[in-house]
Amino acid sequence: SRSLILITGDQLSLDLGLLQTTGDDDVVALCEVAEEGRYVPHHPQKIAMMLSAMRHFAATLRDKGYRVHYSALDDPDNAHGLLAEAERLAQAYDCSRIVTTRPGEWRLLDAMERRQGGIPWQWVEDDRFYCTPGEFGDWLSHRRQPRMEGFYRLMRRRTGLLMEGDEPMGGQWNFDKDNRRPLPQHYTLPKPPRHTVDDLTREVLTLVEEHFDEHFGRLDGFHWPVTRRQALVDLRHFIDHLLPSFGDVQDAISDSDPFLFHSRLSAPMNLGLLSPREVCEAAETAYLEGHAPINAVEGFIRQILGWREYVRGIYWTRMPDYKGYNALQARRGLPHFYWSGDTGMRCLSRAIGMTRDNAYAHHIQRLMVTGNFALLCDVSPEALCDWYLAVYADACEWVELPNTLGMVLHADGGLMGSKPYCASGKYIDRMSDHCRHCRYDVKKTLGEDACPFNSLYWDFLERHADTLASNPRMKLIYGSLRRMSDDKRSAMRRQATSFLDNLACEPSYGQGPHR
């Protein structure tokens, strides 16, 4: 009997397990549906990348001999919901079941499993990841205090990546302490590859301009890879030109360079244009051939083999409850300037401006600038997650949610990180060159021109002392707070309160006051 093989927009890999078992009579369906494009206001570059990549992938599948149905956004019969559209096609092609690969969102998997009465739905595991949610769940259930580092070592042993027998190459598992350097005075960045915009992509860009014009983000300067070939060019560029310096300045932020030595491979990996295995193996080869140092290669591989797999494991083992966690009871709506970049705080206006222009900000901008500010202001997990899910080309819930809710907002009570990543302006000043362009003075905590991060930081610690002061990793900082005079503490509290009272935000979330 015939199956409808549903391929979602983040499963664009020819080596996807499901495609290996697809029969000649089966119909492979790819569906553009309005529902997925609009449930948060995705950045136009993200929508364009995904639609163009899907259309190119459908063409590749046809070339390979698959029988393909492609539902375009403007097809008159399009049901505009992923499940409804797949069921419509299954009926039209007389299929007896719909088979798909585990989707990237719990919401979709749950909806498939609840579908009853009509055509049966089946799904198979996504074999492009190193670790299945089941395996991760087993590992998790044997840990009292799960930490990424333990999981990462297990994955190194299991894959043999950067291993010499049972020992880590270079004699250490982790070279992170070498990777926290601030931005050097002088460095040169090679020009990133520009991909040619073919007719198919041009058509998509026009469509996105027409339909998603009101979404946050610029479409001009679109630079994302939309085919496997283009993604491979980006991978080569990274390995040859950026990886050797990736480690040294991994945590640095530049006022002018949005990408620095980062790979920008998250989006093509998340879509399926590149496999995490080939990316990690290319990095390992660069080390073995003496082209890149161990601190860079280990640091890079840890992000993919460690963090990327870890957050996915947390997502699938903890959903759906995970989405409701709010350990710090944060209820503020999103500050309006997250949609405009219109703030005198230079670090924030640059991180948001770069996001608007490129659908990209690197990890430290997400974690320590936009994330840190939201944490210090008690922005609700729901509000912040919707924003992160909308604005980056690489945003998918399975990776965005644990990073935002867990890592940035500490809303899971310490499952993702043993302490909140809260920081004052001093951290941003050390790691970036923003402060010298800012109207605020990073050295000041009080007064009209004092950097807002400073009073917000101390006020955050005061507000959440009940939850955080007993955390062993926060002991030192609470010690400093306690040693301050009462006068200083109340002046800082007043300064932070006045700032927060004047911060224009979207309506607050949930019950009760947030401060």
Residues engaged in binding ligand FAD (CB under 6 A): 262-266, 269-270, 300, 303-304, 307-308, 311, 362-363, 366-367, 371, 388, 392, 394-396, 399-400, 403-404, 407-408
Residue matched to tokens 């009509």: 118
**Binding to ligand SF4 (CB under 6 A): which residues in 420-439?**
425, 428-429, 434-435, 438
Please give the structure tokens belonging to residue 287. 């080390």
Among 442, 468, 477, 496, binds ligand SF4 (CB under 6 A): 442
d(CA 515, CA 512): 9
Give which of ligand FAD, ligand SF4, none residue 420 binds (C-beta under 5 to 8 Å, depending on kind). none
Give which of ligand FAD, ligand SF4, none residue 411 binds (C-beta under 5 to 8 Å, depending on kind). none
What contacts 66, CB < 8 A, 6 or more positions away?
A: 19, 22, 28
State the amino acid at position 186 in one-letter form: H
Nearer to ligand SF4, 172 or 343 (CB): 343
Please give the structure tokens belonging to residue 285. 């080869």
d(CA 127, CA 160): 18
Per DSSP, the residues of 163-200 read EETTEEGGG-S--GGGG-----S----PPPPPPP--HH
Nearer to ligand FAD, 262 or 464 (CB): 262
Among 237, 312, 346, 464, binds ligand SF4 (CB under 6 A): 346
* Contact of 19 with 28, CB cutoff 8 Å: yes
Give which of ligand SF4, ligand FAD, none residue 409 binds (C-beta under 5 to 8 Å, depending on kind). none
Among 253, 345, 375, 492, binds ligand SF4 (CB under 6 A): 345
Nearer to ligand SF4, 33 or 347 (CB): 347
d(CA 422, CA 120): 48
29 secondary structure, DSSP code: E
Quote the least distance from Cβ 300 to ligand SF4, whole Å. 27
Among 183, 282, 347, 468, binds ligand SF4 (CB under 6 A): 347
Q: Which alpha helices (H) appear in 381-464, and where do they start and end?
A: 381-391, 397-401, 425-431, 452-463
Q: Which alpha helices (H) appear in 344-451, and where do they start and end?
A: 346-358, 363-364, 372-376, 381-391, 397-401, 425-431
Nearer to ligand FAD, 68 or 183 (CB): 183
Quote the least distance from Cβ 371 to ligand SF4, whole Å. 13
Nearer to ligand SF4, 37 or 452 (CB): 452
State the amino acid at position 313 in one-letter form: G
Give which of ligand FAD, ligand SF4, none residue 440 binds (C-beta under 5 to 8 Å, depending on kind). ligand SF4
Quote the least distance from Cβ 370 to ligand SF4, whole Å. 11
Quote the least distance from Cβ 356 to ligand FAD, whole Å. 16
Radius of gyration (C-alpha) of the chain in whole angstroms: 24
Quote the least distance from Cβ 188 to ligand SF4, whole Å. 25
Nearer to ligand FAD, 392 or 453 (CB): 392
How many residues are recorded in the chain?
Answer: 515
**Binding to ligand SF4 (CB under 6 A): which residues in 372-401?**
none
Give the up-direction half-sphere exposure of residue 450: CA atoms within 13 A in the CB hemisphere: 19
Q: Does 183 bind ligand SF4 (CB under 6 A)?
A: no
Nearer to ligand SF4, 15 or 342 (CB): 342
For residue 335, the cross-strand partners are 505
* Contact of 99 with 6, CB cutoff 8 Å: yes
Give which of ligand FAD, ligand SF4, none residue 496 binds (C-beta under 5 to 8 Å, depending on kind). none
For binding to ligand SF4 (CB under 6 A), which residues are involved?
Answer: 345-347, 425, 428-429, 434-435, 438, 440, 442, 451, 453
